[in-house]
Amino acid sequence: MTKAENPSSSPIDHLARCGAPDAAALMIGDKVTTFAELDAGVGRLASWLLEQAGGPGERVASWSAKTRLACLMPLAAGRAGLIHVPINPLLKGPQVEHILADSGAKLLVTNGARADMLGGALPTDCVLHDLKVGKEVIDSGGHGLPPSIAEPDDLAAILYTSGSTGRPKGVMLSHANLWLGAESVASYLKIVPEDRVLGVLPLSFDYGQNQLLSSWYAGAAVAPLDYLTARDVVKAVARHKVTTLAGVPPLWVQLVEAEWPVEIAAHLRRLTNSGGALTPLLIDAMRRTFPKADVYPMYGLTEAFRSTYLEPKFVADHPTSMGRAIPHAEILVCRRDGTITADEEAGELVHCGPLVAKGYWRDAERTAERFKPAPRASKYAGMAVWSGDTVRRDANHLLYFVGRDDAMIKTAGNRVSPTEVEDVAVASGLVFDAVAFGVPDERIGAAIILIVRGKDGIADEDALAAYLRQNLPNFMQPQAIEWRDALPRNPNGKLDRVAIAADWAKQVTA
């Protein structure tokens, strides 16, 4: 089957028709759903959702593990003209209550245990339905809604950020945002119908949801997995003969430390990463563990889905690079006045083009802070995402992350990026994770604190201190280095910097 009639503007639910009708589209446990069954199930679920929500344009939320219903929701909501609000299954009652109230969701589909966590605290207009009802609808055999005729700019989803630095923000995504994101990733990863993609990331995370969408765009099958240990991932790769695996750095640390039989590791052909930078040490470990796989480091923003990727051919010689713009993205490095920086001159990363989201749901103030007119140099013009991330571009047009302006540590008259300190600590080969932050200091303005998790649980304090003295200038030296057996992470798997700093402060004042 060919792609939808007009790939540049197809409604998101048309992804259910991109693969051969009898080809596998979804594999959950022993249940294999073909593309024909996917399309029919999406139609039935769409009809039911529309009836429950009361009309097009309403928000419908799902709070679930990686069930078949959770996987079909993004397409079914789009087919019904509704707006999907996926909720991270790791969130607790208070966070979910906020998301439901903020989005104005008319329907929440979840299981009984999660519903109990809400304690009956649903918004007045929100109806609760059990996942079992949705499953019965999908399998009913009845007729469903036909493919959508939505416009590219019609709203299709609201993805809520983790809220580690404030209340969660709902990022508004259009049908075009989701479709073009799927097309872009399928294109640069070179996914083909024969591929099998293991979906281990939360479907509420743009990166996790795209594992479904980009796989289906390419006519490939995706196997969603809720895992507890790295061993679960190894077993799933073997069971489904997985060729493609996406992860975040903490997961890759677990996976390279796991036992991988040679024949199972050989199934993997491409490994992708986002949600934090891969260190050279970790990249080396991934390449040793999966010698037949290409490694794709990536950088993304929920507000623009994905911005850059590093082609595998550059990984060995440029392991710390963010790469270049993905298809459908224009990435500019700008000075404060909007002009383009010179090579090696640090500036703000600005993302332009059709992957830019529609702003934050019902939050004009914060939308105006992040979504601004594109620089004059942009070929797309329109609105752009001004990321707040400082990067530099080398002579080969490869980008490198420098830091975030709002995280800079101002110490002894210098501006220090926590990332610079963290990268050197990790480069020592003695630690897997590192978080640096500043604390008030009357003498120098701010002192640098470094919290680390040692490699293999070993805390070699003298060796790390010596390495930092050798590789960092005096003004970047941490005043204190503390070792932890584990570091907290937010629901998207990123190191929770706010919690780490708060825990350190609590211990200091105890």
What are the pLDDT digits (tens) for 443-460?
Answer: 677 899 999 999 877 889
Tell me the domain boundaries of the chain: 408-509
Q: How confident is the model over 277-305, as pLDDT tens digits? A: 888 889 999 999 999 999 999 999 889 99
Q: State the pLDDT at residue 471.
A: 84
> Nearest Cα to 39, choosing from 145, 136, 123?
145
Strands (E), 377-444: 383-393, 399-404, 409-411, 414-416, 431-441
CATH class for the region spanning 408-509: alpha beta
pLDDT tens by residue, 231-271: 999 999 999 999 999 998 878 988 999 999 999 999 999 99
**Looking at residues 63-90, what average pLDDT do you find?**
96
Mean pLDDT of the chain: 91
Tell me which DSSP letter residue 229 carries: S
Edge to edge, the sheet with strand 155-160 lists 127-130, 107-110, 59-63, 83-87, 155-160, 170-174
pLDDT: is 492 or 212 the higher one? 212
Better-predicted residue by pLDDT, 297 or 472:
297
Q: Are 85 and 158 in contact (CB under 8 A)?
A: yes
Spell out the alpha helix ranges (H) of 324-394.
364-370
| Residue recorded with tokens 């800079």 | 408
| pLDDT above 50: residue 390 | yes
